[in-house]
Amino acid sequence: MATKASITGAAAAAGGGAPLLNPYVTDAPLTPANFQKLRQRWKATVTGKYMRVTSDDVYFALSKLSGTAEQYIANMQPSRIHIWEDLSPIHLSVNFRKSYERLRTIAQSYSIPGSIHYHDLNVQETVIQSLDFIGSEIYNASVVQAKGENWWNFRIGAPLALVDIAILLYDDLTPRRRHEIGATIVKNIGSIGQRSLKGANRADICLALIGAGVITNEEAEVSRGRWCLSDKEYDGENSIFQLVRSGEGLYEGGSYLSHEIFPYSGGYGVQHYYSLSKAVNVLSKSPYYINSTELEVTFAAINSTFSPVMWRGMMMAHIRGRDISRKSEPDAFWGNLFLQSLLYFADTELVPRKNRRFFKSLARSIWEAAPLPDLYGLNITQAFGMQKVLEERIPPAAPPLGTFATPMSDRLMHHRPEWAAALAMSSSRIGRYEALNHENLKPWYQGDGFLYVYTDKDPLHFSNDYWPTMDPYHTPGVTNGQNPQGPPAYKFTAHRDWAGGLDWRGTHGLAGLDALSTDKGSSAKKSWFFLLNSIIALGAGCAGLSGTEVHTTYESRNLPSAGSNFSINGEYQIMNPGWIKPWEETHQRVDWAYLDSFGGYVFLDKEPVTFKHEKRKGKWTDINQYPDYLGFSDAITREYLTIYRNHGIDPKDGRYAYALLPSSSPDDTRKFATKPPINVTHNTQRLQAIQFNNTVMANFWSSGTIGYLTAVTPCSITWGHSGVEDKYLTISVSDPTQKATRIVLFLNDPDIGGVVEKDDSIQLRWGRAGETGSVTITVNVEGAHGKTHRVSFERISWRGTLDNLPWRPPSNEITTSTTTTASGHVRPAATKKPLANNTTVTSTKIGSKPSPAKPKASVVGNASLGAAKPGPAKTKSKPVATKSGSGTAVKPGHATVKSSLGTIKSSPRTIKPGPSTVKSSLATVESSLASAKSSPTSLKPTGAVESSPGAVDSTVATSTEPEPTIEASN
């Protein structure tokens, strides 16, 4: 047993009446009354706190529980090898574990007033005889796990079910039976000191161990279970109350990983919270309580890790791993389990009052938003908990809104009032998919840019037998060859580093993926731009080596049983439900399409698009052969609409550009297609970017320039106007490769003034002492794990004059030296030009009131895209000459940029040189600028941008060697 330590009065006083950390044990051991209280609280977590039934959810849950228990009882066929014939032979771990779970359901029905089995002695005797049979023949303190058996059944699944049964029937069991049950659980759990025991598995095992002690009145087991949660044996190294840096558990930035490399906040993460919340609730009235100080990380993750991956009360599929292949555990099942965790926390007096109220508010939000009666109803514990919340009239919490990037798990979520999207990517850090224990058998492209879109038009789309009937070779958002794939492997990551993105002002999002398929048979550079009413998808370098066609799937929609109207360019197609003959056709030029159960599709590049309407058949056992789910072998038929681009057989540089408009109307879709409110400025293997209003979003796959901004190193970046009346210019940048040490940017914009705010990771080097407009931005991204970095500048045209700025670069700040052109003349300042097709404003002098210019015909202002007011005021002024240290008059421009490069290279103490790729990029940019210097007439203005979509900017600094489009197989 752990060393005892008492709670002193001084310690209590220091914590304001409670100790900051709970001791291992109190001097006074647990009394029989303590154990009785623990059993009462545990029983309440299984049956719910009984109260007057006023809720339809309670009636539904109680009826469902009683009906299921009655079915289990009626189907019992006891023999020497099984209790239920479909769970035979019972000596297999999956079968005795499932037998315990059925007995728990029967014991619940026996224990809850209002059930048809409440205190039925025949039911009681049936359960006890079944426990004796399994305990004497199959699962006991002498059992040895057979080779090839799933350890989880022995150490977690069976113990957790057995604890619940024993506590529900505690007064009906003899002391000998209780002791045998406790000894069986403790023996099969085994050692809990492994460093590998983390996250959900640690929480589950600790909970089972606490339960064993509660059953047998053994304080030692309660103590071991409690302190294993904190991992006292290894000084908290694997404590589930802390963020982790490897293995399973909560990570910084909203990620939850399981099995080291799989995003799993909607599966293992929820299980982690369920078992922890139950332990917190049960122990709260004992000396082994879990202090709220220890739960700070746990509570913070509710907003950062779990709420963003929920939609309408359901856990999104992109963070559920192999659980998506389980018919009995749909997305709402995991949503309900998370709701139950919130209710357990909210019912714990040690949790601060403000937290408890928030948890109830969030639980109500989940309950109100979910289509639960149609999908997966609340169980009895959840139903009683929600009845109490409703009686307290606690209002629902606001649902998540905006963009949520979790770079540690290569995931991005985007929430709008009527729809939501989730993007699943993979990299050299994160696995493509999880296929384990013969589950999830067709997962090949689930981590290659799978874009899940949820809409109010069809909220049960992914729950309507989607997974056994979907086409795994046409996964929405993915570019892949059509060659057959072999059996899935387990636990491997993707081939390339780039996977990630950022959020812009919390409302917009940008993501990019350097995709190379598992078999290296297809590849592409892919970008997604998440806006307020649309998602823009760009692809370049779509290539293949498999000898088959390479397709990019825009959509593969599971149509509702009632059917859904579909139109192309406003012309409706025949898609009546129950039709027999499928159709597939390619349209050479199509502008837009519309599906009633989804919304709109706009094809931005006017390239050929293929539409396919078909019936698809499947069975759940096609994707899950684990014994738990072999009963789900009924044939299923669903209708699908698939939209894709055929790049041809083994293409070299295929491209695509399209927009999704979820929950939009046909008229809105047509207007978007006629006058797109966004401009695709670049779509190449080196740079993919869009511009709308006064905002630019770009993935720089290599160094390049857009407008006034040059990226020396690859990065994801978004910049544009922000703040009230667009008074600031804000830049957000990230390193999706998570391999760089620094990102270097050059901004030469006459409209930028002083810094409003910046992250500590950002360093600025101004081009001229005491003045603004030219700045080198260096972002330290080493160890940042792909997170977003931000800096905001005040716009001079908004303020009026430079003198009115609240802050100016101090004259003693490190600045760059300047040089003149080869001819000795000062190069005139670059005329400020807008991005292609952008709305601009001009003024005659500094400080004059901006007046908007008329927008070009090809651009439509759209408030729902985040439209800002007309752009910044232009200032026309003569070039201002300054004197360098040598007395030579200069004007900042490309020469200044070159000088900035020289300073970076010559000042290693100021800026540590980056990796070789950064050095190469710097040298290339310097060479380009030197060439421009010798031929000033051929140099483009700094702000110039190619106006045609897809054109490569002439100022992009790149290697002359062609970039390989695909890797060869080993």
510 has a pLDDT exceeding 60: yes
Q: CA 160, 164, 170 angle in degrees (round to 5)?
A: 140
The two tokens of residue 358 are 């928030």
736 has a pLDDT exceeding 60: yes
Residue with tokens 């005659």: 844
186 has a pLDDT exceeding 80: yes
Asked whether the bond before 396 is cis by omega within 30 degrees of 0, the reply is: no
Q: In Å, what is the CA distance from 918 to each residue of 93, 619, 759?
A: 55, 51, 22
Q: In Å, what is the CA distance from 737 to each residue of 219, 314, 422, 920?
A: 50, 31, 20, 17
**Residues 451-468: pLDDT tens digits?**
999 999 999 899 999 999
Residue 369: pLDDT band (50, 70, 90) is confident
> How high is the pLDDT of residue 579?
54
Helix (H, G, I), strand (E, B) or coil at 127: helix
The H-assigned helical ranges of 257-409 are: 268-283, 296-301, 331-346, 353-369, 372-375, 380-391
Strand partners, 643: 555, 611
**What CATH number should be reported for the domain whose range is 1-6+34-240?**
1.50.10.100
Winning range, highest mean pLDDT, from 190-194, 318-322, 584-588, 873-877: 318-322
320 has a pLDDT exceeding 90: yes
Instruction: Give the chain's mean pLDDT.
Output: 82
Where in the chain are the domains?
1-6+34-240, 241-399, 402-674, 680-938
Q: What is the mean pLDDT of residues 748-770?
A: 87
Strand partners, 755: 793
The two tokens of residue 447 are 């981590």
Q: What is the mean pLDDT of residues 851-860?
A: 36
Q: Which CATH architecture has domain 680-938?
A: Sandwich (2.60)
> How high is the pLDDT of residue 768?
59
> How high is the pLDDT of residue 799?
66
Query: Given this chain, do its domains 1-6+34-240 and 241-399 carry the same CATH topology?
Result: yes
Q: Which CATH architecture has domain 241-399?
A: Alpha/alpha barrel (1.50)
Domain 402-674 coded CATH 3.40.50.300: no
User: Who has greater pLDDT, 785 or 960?
Assistant: 785
Percent of the chain at pLDDT > 90 equals: 69
How many other CB atoms are there within 10 angstroms of residue 931's CB atom? 11
> How high is the pLDDT of residue 810?
42
Q: What is the mean pLDDT of residues 139-163?
A: 94
Helix (H, G, I), strand (E, B) or coil at 470: coil
Helix (H, G, I), strand (E, B) or coil at 895: helix
Radius of gyration of the CA atoms of the chain, in A: 31
**Residues 268-302: pLDDT tens digits?**
999 999 999 999 999 999 999 999 999 999 999 99
- pTM (2 d.p.): 0.81
Sheet holding 762-766, edge to edge: 704-706, 709-711, 742-748, 774-780, 762-766
> How high is the pLDDT of residue 247?
85
Q: What is the DSSP-derived secondary structure letter of residue 836? A: T
947 has a pLDDT exceeding 50: no
Residue 863: pLDDT band (50, 70, 90) is very low
**Residues 651-672: pLDDT tens digits?**
999 999 999 999 999 999 999 9
Residue 575: pLDDT band (50, 70, 90) is low
Percent of the chain at pLDDT > 70 equals: 77
894 has a pLDDT exceeding 70: no
How many other CB atoms are there within 10 angstroms of residue 203's CB atom? 26
**Residues 764-783: pLDDT tens digits?**
998 855 566 789 999 999 99
Nearest to 280 by CA among 336, 203, 166: 203
Q: What is the mean pLDDT of residues 65-90?
A: 95
Beta strands in 559-675 (DSSP E): 566-568, 571-572, 583-587, 592-595, 599-603, 609-618, 636-649, 654-662
